[in-house]
Amino acid sequence: MPSNHSDAGYTGPVDVVAAVIRRGARVLLCQRPAHKRHGGLYEFPGGKCNDGETKDQAIARELLEELGVTVTHVGSLLHSIHDPGSPFVIHFTDVRIDGTPLTIEHSDLQWVTFNEALYLDLAPSDRRFIEDFLDRSGEAE
């Protein structure tokens, strides 16, 4: 969830959107650039909501900026997690897109199952979301 903002300077919770984009049984995970917070770790794409921006608007803007894709549908909120050691509250949301994701702001993209994702180096909140999802769905290996 790249951003030009640092973690410093926030006085309250900061809403962050994370798009859970599915292709069959697989989801899209993106590797953060090395110079960013959690650099080199994989995450669901997204980013911070700008002032006055809805979560749906933020998802559409972030995915266009980061992946070059158009959001066609924002579905239900799957889970919200407060990111440890930061003011960020990450809202994992089902999203459908049009277009082929490109590595505009990320180092790598991978389509993986939730179980396969656990073998990647994941950002802490993304790992927690995947583990919680698998626990709730009963799909864990």
pLDDT at site 34: 79
- The pLDDT value given to residue 85: 86
130 dihedral zone (left: phi>0; alpha: psi -120 to 50; beta)? alpha
Contact between 90 and 118 (Cβ < 8 Å): no
Please tell me which residue, 2 or 138, carries the higher pLDDT value: 138
Rounded to an integer, the average pLDDT of 77-94 is: 94
- Confidence check: pLDDT of 6 > 50: no
Q: How far apart are CA 93 and CA 62, in angstroms?
A: 13
Separation between Cα atoms, residue 9 and residue 115, nearest integer Å: 36
For residue 35, what pLDDT is reported? 78
Task: Give the pLDDT confidence score for residue 39 in this predicted structure.
Answer: 75
Confidence band for 5, pLDDT divided at 50, 70 and 90: very low
Whether 2 maps to a domain, the answer reads no
H or E element that contains 128: helix 124-137
Burial of 124 (0-12, 13-18, 19+ CB in 10 A): middle
* Tens of pLDDT, residues 67-78: 999 999 999 999
Of 18, 53, 15, 8, nearest in space to 125 by CA: 18
Q: How confident is the model at residue 84 (pLDDT cuts 50, 70, 90)?
A: confident
Residue 23 lies in a domain: yes
> Is residue 28 included in any domain, yes or no?
yes
Q: How confident is the model at residue 137 (pLDDT cuts 50, 70, 90)?
A: confident
Query: What's 37's domain CATH number?
Result: 3.90.79.10
At 64 the pLDDT is 97
In-domain check, residue 92: yes
Give the pLDDT confidence score for residue 114 in this predicted structure.
Answer: 96
Residue 73 counted as domain residue: yes
Residue 10: predicted pLDDT: 62
pLDDT of residue 33: 86
Q: How many domains is the chain built from?
A: 1
Q: Judge whether residue 47 has pLDDT over 50.
A: yes
Is position 6 within any domain?
no
Is residue 90 in a domain? yes
Range of the domain at 18: 14-137
Q: Is residue 127 part of a domain?
A: yes
